[in-house]
Amino acid sequence: MSSGKIVAVALVVAIAAAAGYWAGGQSKVGAGETASADAAAAPGGKKLLYYRNPMGLPDTSPTPKKDSMGMDYIAVYEGEDDAGGTEVKISTAKVQKLGVRVEAASLRELSRPIRAAGRIEVDERRLHTISPKFEGWIEKLHVNSTGQPVGRGQPLFEAYSPELVSAQREYQVAAQGLVALKDASPEAQASMRRIAEAALTRLRNWDISAEQIERLAGGGEARRTLTFRAPASGIVLEKRAIAGMRFMPGEMLYQIADISSIWVLADVFERDIGALKVGQKVNVAITAYPDKLFAGKIAYIYPTLNAVTRTVPIRVELPNPGGLLKPAMYAAVEVGAGNTVPVVAVPLAAVIDSGTRQTVLVQKEEGRFEPREVKLGLRGDDYVEVREGVKAGEQVVVAANFLIDSESNLKAALGGMQDAPQATVSHHAVGTLDAVDAQTGTVLVTHEPVASLKWPAMTMEFVPANSALFADVKPGSAIHFEFVERKPGEWVITKLDKQVK
């Protein structure tokens, strides 16, 4: 065999060997990938879907990778992606340790009693004032004390007036003239009739009783005094009449009130007035009668608001047959406001209110929680209506103080719930507090090297998760703190363990 043939054969053998080596390597790689895929599907036999950003950013990867901070992306398996990366997973042991307690959202008839302070007032429609329409003198008092009960038509006082006597005599003369001119001309009779009618109208305008007018028309003598009688039954609220005093037209001498039915005027706060309506039942408690409860209804809601107290008056009408309720008494008013139609409701403790939105944490299964933004409705004493976001039967978290880490950033609060190793999320450092800027809400800290981030010693700005963290720490103090990156470039101090002595 020639040397050229020998070289050719050797070259073919070398190429074949190289091809075999490459094929063997590829089969090993394929086997390794298959094993990796099998390992990914291992937990509960679930299929691996993707890897998500460990800081909750909207970034996923089909293969394992690290973020800019060197943190491993978190594997997401089938059935774990329905929360869009916002679910929180914690172990059963940690649930018990943190004191997490849940309660099912349920259909309830919400009722929230509205309470207001009130006072007893006289029914304005049952007030009567006795004010003579002529000048005169009081000659005799029949009712001479304030608070005295009177009946309708009961004599109050007798008054003398020269004008009254003159008017009676004018009418008496006119009445007698009509009788005397019965055979006179029609013109004379009409003239006398007009005089008699004018005198009669004058007496009626002065509230002379029909009985006295009939007596005068029948030929009776004019009386020197006129008896004033009570226009209604009630009690004398005010008495200014004194025996022998002179009174002028329109001067109030008596004020009588019928207190068989009274008003309660209560001041309701502006936030509650929308839940009230005319006709609602009201319970009224009076300090003087602690064992009694008076029932009434809202008769009127006033159209004005007191700008100082931010309250709206309402009027409640109460029967007062025994006269137990006295004007000017204080009253405690309670109105049962609510909805008789059952609505989906959750405990008030389940709602995390950031000021701009309301959120609840729903337990999807043991150790898995999903934050949901909700729209709230009517509030009761212990429960609140949920109009959107939660369905009846879903379990919501009602007790876990660790959830409320920062009202202004729910994501930061939920970050503390991650059941992943905290060493890759939270970082610890020792340093010195240089300054606190209350206007921007930041602190300036000079810290030592941070091994978990491979940071050298430097001075940088941090954001306290809670302004109370540095309330008692003075600039220049040595501190030991824990911090996380809430969003790219924003480092938040979540815990101030202690001051280093």
Asked if residue 79 is part of any domain, the answer here is: no
Q: Facing residues of 360 across strands?
A: 372
Among residues 307, 338, 369, the one where a domain terminates is 338
Looking at the fold, whether 94 and 158 belong to one and the same domain comes out as no
Question: What tokens does 193 get?
Answer: 């009739």
For residue 84, give the H/E element and its range. Answer: none
Smallest CA-to-CA distance from 140 within 36, 227, 250 is with: 227
Q: What are phi and psi of 107, to 5 degrees?
A: -80, 125
Identify the residue with better confidence: 355 or 360.
360
pLDDT at 354 over 50: yes
Q: What are phi and psi of 389, to 5 degrees?
A: 115, -30
Structural domain for 267, as ranges: 261-338
Question: What tokens does 359 get?
Answer: 């959120």
Collapsed DSSP state (helix, strand, coil) of residue 78: coil
| ∠ CA 288-289-295, rounded to 5° | 120
Arithmetic mean of pLDDT, 452-460 = 87
Asked if residue 116 is part of any domain, the answer here is: no
Asked if residue 120 is part of any domain, the answer here is: no
Is 195 buried (19+), middle (13-18) or exposed (0-12) by CB count in 10 A? middle
Looking at the fold, whether 393 and 460 belong to one and the same domain comes out as no
Length of the chain: 501
Question: What tokens does 245 get?
Answer: 């005093």
Identify the residue with better confidence: 172 or 463.
463
- pLDDT tens digit sequence for 368-409: 778 888 898 877 778 888 998 888 889 888 876 344 333 334
The predicted pLDDT at position 218 comes to 65
Looking at the fold, whether 164 and 246 belong to one and the same domain comes out as yes
The predicted pLDDT at position 397 comes to 86
Looking at the fold, whether 346 and 334 belong to one and the same domain comes out as no
pLDDT at 418 over 60: no
Among residues 367, 395, 415, the one where a domain terminates is 415
The tokens 């890759």 sit on which residue?
Answer: 424
Question: What tokens does 320 get?
Answer: 């007062």
Looking at the fold, whether 244 and 324 belong to one and the same domain comes out as no
Question: Domain holding 290: CATH number?
Answer: 2.40.30.170
Q: Which letter, b or e, does each residue of 172-190 get, where b requires 16 or more Cβ atoms within 10 Å of its Cβ?
A: bebbebbeebeeeeeeeee
Please give the full DSSP string across 206-222, using - where no structure is assigned. TT--HHHHHHHHTTPPP
Question: Domain holding 407: CATH number?
Answer: 2.40.420.20
- pLDDT tens digit sequence for 280-323: 899 999 988 988 999 999 999 999 999 999 999 999 999 998 88
- Lowest-confidence pick of 133-147, 353-367, 390-404: 390-404
For residue 318, give the H/E element and its range. Answer: strand 311-319
Looking at the fold, whether 328 and 389 belong to one and the same domain comes out as no
Smallest CA-to-CA distance from 377 within 110, 50, 182 is with: 110
Q: How far apart are CA 166 and CA 223, in angstroms?
A: 10
Looking at the fold, whether 143 and 241 belong to one and the same domain comes out as yes
Looking at the fold, whether 346 and 324 belong to one and the same domain comes out as no
DSSP summary character for residue 314: E
Band of residue 69 on the pLDDT scale cut at 50, 70, 90: low
Looking at the fold, whether 165 and 217 belong to one and the same domain comes out as yes
Asked if residue 474 is part of any domain, the answer here is: yes
pLDDT at 29 over 70: no
Cα distances (angstroms) measured from residue 152 to each of 26, 232, 258, 361 = 116, 4, 10, 69
Residue 454's contacts (CB-CB under 8 Å, 6 or more residues apart) are 70
Percent of the chain with pLDDT over 90: 25
Cα distances (angstroms) measured from residue 261 to each of 54, 279, 307, 321, 348 = 72, 17, 30, 7, 41
Asked if residue 442 is part of any domain, the answer here is: yes
Asked if residue 72 is part of any domain, the answer here is: no
> Could you tell me the sign of the dihedral formed by the alpha carbons of 88, 94, 95, 98, in that order?
negative
Arithmetic mean of pLDDT, 467-482 = 86
The predicted pLDDT at position 370 comes to 80
Count up the domains in the chain and report the number. 5
Q: How far apart are CA 478 and CA 323, in angstroms?
A: 74
Identify the residue with better confidence: 303 or 49.
303
Collapsed DSSP state (helix, strand, coil) of residue 53: coil
Band of residue 11 on the pLDDT scale cut at 50, 70, 90: very low
Question: What tokens does 450 get?
Answer: 């941070």
Band of residue 34 on the pLDDT scale cut at 50, 70, 90: very low
Asked if residue 168 is part of any domain, the answer here is: yes
Looking at the fold, whether 346 and 386 belong to one and the same domain comes out as yes
Question: Domain holding 476: CATH number?
Answer: 2.40.50.320
Among residues 320, 338, 356, the one where a domain terminates is 338
The predicted pLDDT at position 74 comes to 79
Arithmetic mean of pLDDT, 117-145 = 92
Is 267 buried (19+), middle (13-18) or exposed (0-12) by CB count in 10 A? middle
Looking at the fold, whether 432 and 390 belong to one and the same domain comes out as no
The predicted pLDDT at position 111 comes to 74
Looking at the fold, whether 382 and 472 belong to one and the same domain comes out as no
Q: Which letter, b or e, does each residue of 17-53 get, where b requires 16 or more Cβ atoms within 10 Å of its Cβ?
A: eeeeeeeeeeeeeeeeeeeeeeebeeeeeeebbebbb
Asked if residue 49 is part of any domain, the answer here is: no
Band of residue 179 on the pLDDT scale cut at 50, 70, 90: confident
